[in-house]
Chain A
Amino acid sequence: MNLKKIDVNINGKDYCLEVEENLRLIDLLRDKLHLTGTKEGCGEGECGACTVIMDGEIVNSCLVLAFQADKCRIITIEGIEDEIIKNSFIEEGAVQCGFCTPGMVLAAKSLLDKNLNPNEEEIREAISGNLCRCTGYNKIVSAIKKAASIKRGGDSE
């Protein structure tokens, strides 16, 4: 297997890396860079546990090959400094086992970056690519509503 040289910015830091040609982005993040906040669930794009933000959009890092991320900007859960979303998740009890949480937070972040006043349907749509087997989703939806409300400058609902 040949190695491929890539330049990639992860969480604001520039990396120049040599990667195996069939290496997935999730493997690069977890195994090479030890950014283990990104989880692997299904490995086929169904569960969203491996969600990262790539050039501003959420993607499944299990469905991106590392060499495809050459010259891209990646944000993982480790790079999220948004305390409002994180605290809302904690306060609303939106975290149980925690496996889906990094993906959920990134999906929420991606939504709230574009829309600070999402309705319930828009919130559910935004997290529709992320499975949670603990919470039944309601607490996650409440957490995102709360984060949106705080970001709009209001109090928590």
Chain B
Amino acid sequence: MEAIKPKSLEEVLEYKYKYKNDAKIIAGGTDLIIKIRKGEENPKVILDISTIQELKGIRETLEYIDIGSATTFTKISECILLNKNLKGLKDAAKSVGSPQIRNRGTVGGNICNASPAADTVPPLLALDSILVLERKGRKREVYLKDFFKDKGRVDLGEDEILTRIKFKNLLKNQGLGFYKLGLRRALAISRLSFAVFLEIDEMNRIEIIRIASGAIGRFPMREYELEEYLTGRIINEDTLKEAESLLERIIFERLKGRQTAKFKSIAAKGVFKKALLNALYLCKGVNEFEKN
């Protein structure tokens, strides 16, 4: 194994062009080092991007919030640029591993490893994020929702790397909620998570809703059927009940034949509801359902 620590993004792309799939990107290393030691990965070359400044940090442009792929979970959870309506993204970043893992692990690694349980991916999906992928001399953008091809497989060329993740900043009547079910508090791998992006009018009618689940499929994914059902409806107890039973059917169907199908399809209802109510709270500033 050859270890290289490039000094700039340009150098990273140059090496990636030279070595293609023989070169594996390492940032936080919290997944890759374990895999290398277990013999599951045996890269000829590793390219360390953990100190490339161009790939670190969060900035706001005219239209987007823009996060560098080598930004750590700690930096995301502490970022003051991410306002309170984006709490769901911070909550997800805060729920990753432990302080030690969050200080090293990066959002780009979370996305590119394409683990079904990646914590920050459902909120980024619910934000309808766009990924910037770069190779030597070329840049392209894809929607995060189109990036996952299968468990552990993503739409990334052999000489390409993920450089930035961007999404539109939220308005006052929009909110991003997140909820995760894990086995223990620290270091819990997601057993189930939901992120909900919500935009409502004064009547609590859902103008836009985007829902993403984690750990219930081969990769984190949007729940389009549920989104379609909820769009245009007024949020009340009846709507929530209907949505929950629809979700239970969707999840049970997806996991049919697996031991976890029954548990997950029932648990999903509660996790989804919590994520939705978290989003509603951010839109309104109050939680009308908890009061009742």
Indicate whether A44 reaches chain B with its CB closer than 8 angstroms: yes
Categorize the interface residue count of chain A.
20 to 34
Contact A68 B187 (CB under 8 A): no
Total A-B pairs, Cβ < 8 A: 82
B26 pairs with A128, CB closer than 8 A: no
Contact partners of A112 in chain B: CB under 8 A: none
Does A24 reach chain B (CB closer than 8 Å)?
Answer: yes
Contact of A48 among B34, B74, B98, B185 (CB under 8 A): B98
Asked if B110 lies at the interface with its beta carbon under 8 angstroms from chain A, I say: no
Q: How many residues of B contact A (CB 8 A)?
A: 27
Is the CB–CB distance between A43 and B97 below 8 Å?
no
Whether a CB of chain A sits under 8 angstroms from the CB of B99 is: yes
A24 cross-chain contacts in B, Cβ below 8 A: 33
Binary flags per residue of A66-101, CB closer than 8 Å to B gives 1, else 0: 011011000000000000000000000000000000
Cα–Cα, bound, A130→B99 (Å): 9
A129 and B33: CB pair below 8 A?
no
Q: How far is B37's CA from A107's CA once the two chains are assembled, in angstroms? A: 26
Q: Known: A59-B104, A129-B97. Is A64-B29 also a contact (CB below 8 A)?
A: yes
In the complex, per-residue mask of B14-55: 1 if CB is within 8 Å of any chain A CB, else 0: 000000000000101110011011000000001010110000
Q: Which of A18-44 contact B (CB under 8 A)?
A: 21-22, 24, 43-44
Residues of chain A whose beta carbon lies under 8 Å from any beta carbon of chain B: 1-2, 4, 21-22, 24, 43-46, 48, 51, 54, 57-60, 62-65, 67-68, 70-71, 107, 110, 125-126, 128-130
